[in-house]
Chains A and B, each alone.
Chain A
Amino acid sequence: MDILVWLKSLEETGLASGIRDSLYVFPILEAVHVMALSVVFGTITIIDLRLLGFASTGRPFTRMSSELLRITWGAFAVAALTGTLMFMTNARVYYNNTPFRVKMVLLALAGLNMALFHLTSGRSAARWEKAPAAPGIGRLTASLSLILWIAIVFAGRVIGFTTTGAQAKEVAPPATNFDDFLTGGAGAPAAADDAANFSVRTIMAAKVDPSADYLFESVADIADEHGVTHKAPRTPAEWDNVRHHLQVLADAERLLIVPGRKAAEPADRSSNPAIENEPEQVQKLMDSQHPDFVARAGRLREAATLGLKAVDTRDAKALFGAITAIDKACESCHLHYWYPNDERAHQAAKEEGGIIE
Chain B
Amino acid sequence: MNDFAVWLSTTLPSVFLQTHEAWMIPVIQSLHIIGIGLAVGSALMMTLRVLGWAGTDQTVRATQARFGPWLTGALCLLLASGGLLVVAEPVRELVTVSFWVKMAFVATLVALAVCFQRSVRKEEQRWEQTLVSRPGVRLAALLVFVVLGCIILLGRLIAYDHIWGHLSPATKA
Contact = CB atoms under 8 A, between A and B. Distances in A.
Given A223-B160, A223-B162, A228-B159, A157 B30 contact: yes
A38 B161 CA distance: 22
Given A37-B37, A56-B66, A46 B45 contact: yes
A56 B161 CA distance: 40
B95 to A, nearest CB: 11
A154 B27 contact: yes
Interface stretch (B103-111, B119-127, B135-143, B149-157): B149-157
A24 B163 contact: yes
A71 B42 CA distance: 13
Contacts of B70: 55
A34 B161 contact: no
For the residues of B in contact with A, the DSSP-based class is: helix
A223 B159 contact: yes
Nearest to A24: B163
Nearest to B40: A38
A63 B55 CA distance: 9
Contacts of B42: 42
A76 to B, nearest CB: 13
Nearest to A227: B159
Contacts of B34: 41, 150, 153
Interface residues of A, number: 41
A43 B67 CA distance: 12
A56 B57 CA distance: 12
B157 A37 contact: no
A161 interface: yes
A91 B172 CA distance: 34
B29 interface: yes
Interface of A (DSSP majority class): helix
Given A157-B26, A227-B159, A228-B159, A38 B37 contact: yes
Interface in A46-96: 46, 55-56, 59-60, 63, 67-68, 71
Given A153-B34, A157-B33, A351-B166, A35 B149 contact: yes
A39 B40 contact: yes
A23 interface: yes
A276 to B, nearest CB: 23
A352 B157 contact: no
Interface string B80-100: 000000000000100000000
A42 B159 contact: no
B166 A45 contact: no
B153 A59 contact: no
A42 B38 CA distance: 5
A28 interface: yes
A67 B54 contact: yes
A56 B36 CA distance: 20
Nearest to B159: A227
A27 interface: yes
Contacts of B55: 67
Contacts of B163: 23-24, 27
Interface in A232-283: none
Interface in B1-49: 22, 25-27, 29-30, 33-34, 36-42, 44-45
A171 interface: no
A4 B58 CA distance: 52
B44 A43 contact: yes
Nearest to A30: B156
A2 B128 CA distance: 61
B91 to A, nearest CB: 8
Contacts of B152: 31, 34-35, 38
A158 interface: yes
Nearest to B92: A228
9 contacts: A35-B152, A39-B37, A41-B33, A43-B41, A55-B66, A71-B54, A150-B34, A154-B30, A158-B30
Which 4 residue pairs of A and B lie closest in terms of their CB atoms, listed nearest first? Answer: A42-B41, A227-B159, A41-B37, A31-B156
